Structure 1
Amino acid sequence: MSKNEIRIFCPATIANVSCGFDVLGVALDNVGDEMVIRKSAEKGIRITKLEGQDLPMDTHQNVAGVAGLALLAESGSPEGFEIEIYKKIKAGSGIGSSAASSTGAVWAMNELLGKPFSTLDLVKFAMEGERLASGVAHADNVAPALFGGFTLVRSYEPLDVISIHCPNELYATVIHPQIEIKTSDSRKILKTHLTLADGIKQWGNVGGLVAGLFTEDYDLIGRSLQDHIVEPIRSILIPGFDKIKSVSKEAGALGCGISGSGPSIFAFSKGKDTAQKVAEAMTHVYQKIGVDYDVHVSKINTEGIKIID
């Protein structure tokens, strides 16, 4: 690749991570999109190729275009860019399809411009793509895609993102039933008020999960993967959710929950072998009830977006 063009891998991500609605996220290692971004003599941003999904190529209707325009507006750069998107993450899958495109665009543009912006700046730009996709500029998918590993959005105003240590043996298993749940739709069914008792449970689990990750206490990680607020509502939209959760724990998973807004379901395990057993247990559930699915077993991606040949 020349210095005017870059090809990148943009990882899929798990957001919320059970107890951390809109604040916790983690990047996956072997699931993601590819993008090619190149400088152009023509100002502005153009989506020149989009393969794998039926998504808008109009710059103002595509999350990569909107995020990229936010970066250009801030930079004041006269440069133009062309973007090719090779979607391998299905839209509406719950593993950060829009975040992969949004972050990939701004990360690559920043590289080609000589890195004038910090990673936190890039999160802000990418959030504009999320605003287009879901109606809310949330950062729990874009932050781990850009920083790698686990991230905690401590604050949105001002934006404050913290990288969280990840135990080396932690693996994710993700199963995606072939139905689409739009993030914007899944947000509409959520309660806007919660009881103090539910809040206390949730805060305790967020603290426990973060502590478990830093201390590599796998049992604590498992005990903390509980969601008392969002999961009880969103799980109704996902076929076989309770059974998937049950068999995952029986197969040795530390814990299990909804990935993002669903319909994908994730489980964390200690070690690849256990993660594979969890994948087999999950697939048996959907085979029995006749739901088509994709399943992924992945190590945690601590690098985030990366250049590929």
Structure 2
Amino acid sequence: MNEIKVFCPATIANLNCGFDVMGLCLEGIGDEMIFRKVPEKGIRITEITGADLPYETDKNVAGVAALALIKSANPDFGFEIEIHKKIKAGSGIGSSSASAAGAVYGINELLGRPFSKHELVAFAMKGEVIASGSEHADNVAPCLLGGFTLVRGYNPLDVIKIESPSEIYAVVLHPHIEVKTADSRAVLPSSIPLKTAITQWGNLGGLIAGLYSKDYELIGRSLQDVVAEPFRKSLIPNFDLVKNSALDNGALGAGISGAGPSVFALCKGQSSAERVAYAMSSSYLDTGIPFDIHLSKVNDEGTKTIDY
């Protein structure tokens, strides 16, 4: 195999109570990347569509992640990469993570899969430094592995995949504004009260228990963020109205996707998700801000090879 095409899905990180440790993988929304073996060693990015991104390997999220992998694998040949972006940068649904995850997945496939998907997470994290200034896995883990993921810790890296209950659907409203991760981080307090932390821990434990037991009511009760959302929601026009419209129309829970500006809702069943998507869209119209609305099942497969 000398050439492959890869689908790199969008993701929702944080999931309210899982700030910086939880994420899920979306279906049908994602980038595409093409990889080719070439005789010359190293990584070369030959084409980028859909975004204005650097071609220099060491300045590109995909390039940095790819370089980290080949440094470990040390193949006697190199790779060309095409990046076709369909996830807007700064959208809050894992645009940079899709590039990083896709890069390590594609090269690993052409190398004959020397690394497992779990092992690829560490290489993909290197690319995230370019986008956000730090190595983190809450988006690249679900992008690679699919389903829900929990990042239990980083030293050593410990990522757990949780298969999604079959009736979970996600709705994402993406306003066409950009909220930079640095700005979203800047509004957070440097410390939180112990009572707040305990509430968040309880919700996170409840969410994980609800996913494993397929208890939709428990999932809904647990989807509450008392750490980041109270400070970040001011960066998203009409956030409270959109969130409340989702909850009033049957969503299990709703909140900020990643660092924003996207707003997500989790629902039980497709008909409920369709009703929530309509309500969220209706509540955002009076802002005058263009937006996209996505409805998706949870993608349990993650990054994958696709046909040309």
TM range (shorter): over 0.9
Q: 1:227 aligned to 2:225? A: yes
How do 1:53-202 and structure 2 match up within 5 A?
A: 53-202=51-200
Contact 2:169 2:270 in 1 (8 A): yes
SS of the residue 2:23 aligns to = strand
2: CA distance, partners of 1:115 / 1:50: 25
Contact 2:40 2:78 in 1 (8 A): yes
Amino acid at match of 2:200: Q
After superposition, what is the alpha-carbon deviation per residue over 1:103-148, rounded to whole angstroms, capped at 9, x for unaligned? 0000010011011112222101100111110011110000001111
1: CA distance, partners of 2:76 / 2:191: 46
How do 1:20-39 and structure 2 match up within 5 A?
A: 20-39=18-37
Contact 2:163 2:300 in 1 (8 A): no
SS of the residue 2:83 aligns to = strand
Q: Which residue of 2 aligns with 1:9?
A: 7
**TM-score normalised by structure 1 residue count:** 0.98
Q: Gaps (5+ residues) in structure 2?
A: none
Amino acid at match of 1:10: C
SS of the residue 1:35 aligns to = strand
**TM-score normalised by structure 2 residue count:** 0.98
Bigger CA drift: 292-301 or 187-196? 187-196
SS of the residue 1:27 aligns to = strand
2: CA distance, partners of 1:77 / 1:233: 47
Q: Gaps (5+ residues) in structure 1?
A: none
Instruction: Tell me the C-alpha RMSD between the 2 structures.
Output: 0.8
Structure 1 runs of 4+ off > 4 angstroms? none
Q: Which residue of 2 aligns with 1:207?
A: 205
Q: Which residue of 2 aligns with 1:218?
A: 216
2: CA distance, partners of 1:164 / 1:100: 19
2: CA distance, partners of 1:100 / 1:289: 29
Select the residue among 275, 278, 284 that pairs with 1:277. Answer: 275
SS of the residue 1:256 aligns to = strand
Contact 1:127 1:139 in 2 (8 A): yes
Cα shift at 1:285: 1.6
SS of the residue 1:66 aligns to = helix
1: CA distance, partners of 2:20 / 2:227: 12
2: CA distance, partners of 1:265 / 1:219: 21
Aligned length: 307
1: CA distance, partners of 2:55 / 2:188: 31
Contact 1:14 1:25 in 2 (8 A): yes
Percent identity reads 61
Cα shift at 1:290: 1.1
2: CA distance, partners of 1:120 / 1:217: 27
Amino acid at match of 1:26: L
Cα shift at 1:161: 0.4
Amino acid at match of 2:272: T
1: CA distance, partners of 2:46 / 2:27: 27
Cα shift at 1:306: 1.2
Q: Which residue of 1 aligns with 2:300?
A: 302
Q: Which residue of 2 aligns with 1:51?
A: 49
Select the residue among 273, 288, 293 that pairs with 2:291. Answer: 293
After superposition, what is the alpha-carbon deviation per residue over 1:162-200, rounded to whole angstroms, capped at 9, x for unaligned? 011310010000000110112122112222211110110
Amino acid at match of 1:57: Y
Contact 1:245 1:256 in 2 (8 A): yes
Amino acid at match of 1:58: E
Contact 1:173 1:296 in 2 (8 A): yes
2: CA distance, partners of 1:243 / 1:78: 56
Amino acid at match of 2:183: D
2: CA distance, partners of 1:236 / 1:138: 24
After superposition, what is the alpha-carbon deviation per residue over 1:246-272, rounded to whole angstroms, capped at 9, x for unaligned? 000111100001000000000000011
Contact 1:133 1:184 in 2 (8 A): no
